[in-house]
Amino acid sequence: MPNAAPVEGTAERPRCPACRVELRMRDDKVVDPVFPCPECHVPLRLEHDDTGHRVIVLAEVPSVTKAAPPKKAGHRHKSVVAPATARPDRSLLLFSAGLGVVTLLIVGWLMWGRSTTATDAATSPVTESPVTVTEKTPPPVTEPHSWEHHLTQLAGQIQQHIDEHGSFPAAADATSPLPITQQFSWLARLEAHSESLPTERRPVLGKPWNDPVNEPFVGRRIPGYLNPSVSTMVGEDSRPATHFAGVAGVGRDAADLPAGHPRAGMFGTQRTIKIQDIRDGQANVVMVLGVEAQLGSWADPGRATVRPLTSPPYLHGLDGFGGGTRNELPALMADGSMRMFAPDTDPLLMRRLAAIADDLPLDLNTPGEPGDVTPTATPPVPSLAISDPDNPPVSALSALAEAQRPVIVRPPVAPLLQQRLTSFQQTKPVTRRQLLTIAEDLLGRPVVVDQEQLGPLTQQLDVTITFALENTTIAAVLEQVLHGTELELVIGPERAALQRRAAGATTAIRLEP
């Protein structure tokens, strides 16, 4: 049927296309195909579409002009008033009289049908069949709950916090007597001050966030903290999760750095950020990023709600950032604007955006990493005669800069892999990605996943596994993590990278020469 829209679900009753009143249709009687609406008395017709569903449409009434819509309050309309001597159309009067007779006959027939089935109706419930209703205008469309809508709401909550406290929310509450791990997260503290929160759901902030007394508050699912593109709604702690986390900065220790540190981000346990602390400009600083892995409760002050950038790629990588099924990374900037970062976004650009005071431009032609050590003053360069033009001496400035560059000492790989472990227990199902995060700590090297190179093989990292090893080694643990995949871990002096395993390879661990 044209313009016919099926009613979703059997519980919803069809409506009159003219006045929108609900119509009660019985499925155990055959009614007359034409009948009036019990409310507005407009003639309706019952038809069937190609799939057999019943359809209610306006009965076509020739020679009858559709009445104008009623005048709404507050709007001016031009009205046409008929002369007092004007006579009604005879054909319209005849049709109205005939329609009244038909209406009485149909109503009487329906009442007779009800009386003959009163006994059956008393012993069995009335079932209503799905009915398709033709409507002149489509129903109003509800605004979809997108990540953009949710981040906009979150930006409003953060702005309200700034207006009241003069600073951005912090990862830890300096006024709380509780340890940081027992405090409420910054998201939970925003939610606790929401005006729409019922009184019986309000938390006891003096108790730990996971105390049973706070379960009515913590156990709720907060739609505004979720990304509809992420299918997982529950964290690894079996509590309602969040899909947005505050950015702590760059490096594993970023959350514990002071506000002026060049690697510090918007959220930290040892700092409260004010607008004047953001030396790089609010539009150039990422405040919140979407997360899709390593999820946890929105009230947990730990990694579930605050995490740094530690290992590229930052989209679908080991840090757990992502937008679910979307191949883009949603972000809320410190000025309240929103951005989407593509998979090919330069990791250096992401690190500079994560730091609030690294004093580095976003132009990647300018070298430098957040936190790089640079000389505060330029020492004099001695005048040296170049005796050999083909081998000029190294300038004193270059030698000094190189000497002041931080040196990262990493342990040798071979003896590290053979280090003995009394046991390694992983009884709770977790993804291989999460276990590779632990591998970074064991190896002392970042584990890099090249999404473009591996392609669909990266899906093997999202499979959950469990295992238990006794009297084992780090190498055996890593082998077990990659068991059953087509991937191998190539460990070099500076990093470890996941690659496609060569045909015929018998081990998943390989050392770079």
> CB under 8 Å to 246, separation ≥6 — which residues?
169, 171, 186, 265, 266, 267, 287, 288, 305, 306, 307
Domains and CATH numbers, the chain: 4-64+96-134 (no CATH), 147-354 (no CATH), 413-511 (3.55.50.30)
31-40, 69-78, 366-375, range with greatest mean pLDDT: 366-375
- Report the C-alpha gap between 322 and 314 in whole angstroms: 8
pLDDT level of residue 8 (50, 70, 90 thresholds): very low
Is the Cα torsion angle 363, 368, 373, 376 positive or negative in sign? Answer: negative
How much is the pLDDT for 407?
42
Q: Which two tokens stand for residue 116?
A: 């003959």
pLDDT at 321 over 50: yes
Strand pairing category for 509-511 and 43-48: unpaired
Take residue 368 and report the two structure tokens written for it: 């430098």
Q: What is the pLDDT of residues 195-230, one digit of tens each?
A: 878 888 889 989 999 999 999 999 999 989 999 999
Model pLDDT, residue 451: 79
Query: Residue 510, exposed/middle/buried by CB under 10 A (0-12, 13-18, 19+)?
Result: middle
Average pLDDT over residues 290-308: 95
Q: What is the rounded average pLDDT of the residues 331-341?
A: 92
Kindly report, residue by residue over 473-505, the tens digit of the pLDDT: 888 989 999 999 999 998 887 788 888 998 888
pLDDT digits (tens, 9 = 90+) for 79-130: 333 333 344 444 444 555 555 655 656 555 555 544 444 444 333 333 333 3
What's the predicted TM-score (pTM) here?
Answer: 0.49
In 3D space, the residue among 334, 331, 308, 336 whose CA is nearest the CA of residue 440 turns out to be 308
Nearest-angstrom CA–CA distance, 475 and 482: 11
Q: Rounded to an integer, what distance in angstroms lies between the CA atom of residue 284 and that of residue 282?
A: 5
Q: Could you count the other beta carbons within 10 Å of the beta carbon of residue 108? A: 10
DSSP 8-state class, residue 22 = B
The two tokens of residue 210 are: 């996971």
Band of the pLDDT at 440, cuts 50, 70, 90? Answer: confident
**Residue entry with tokens 């049709």:** 95
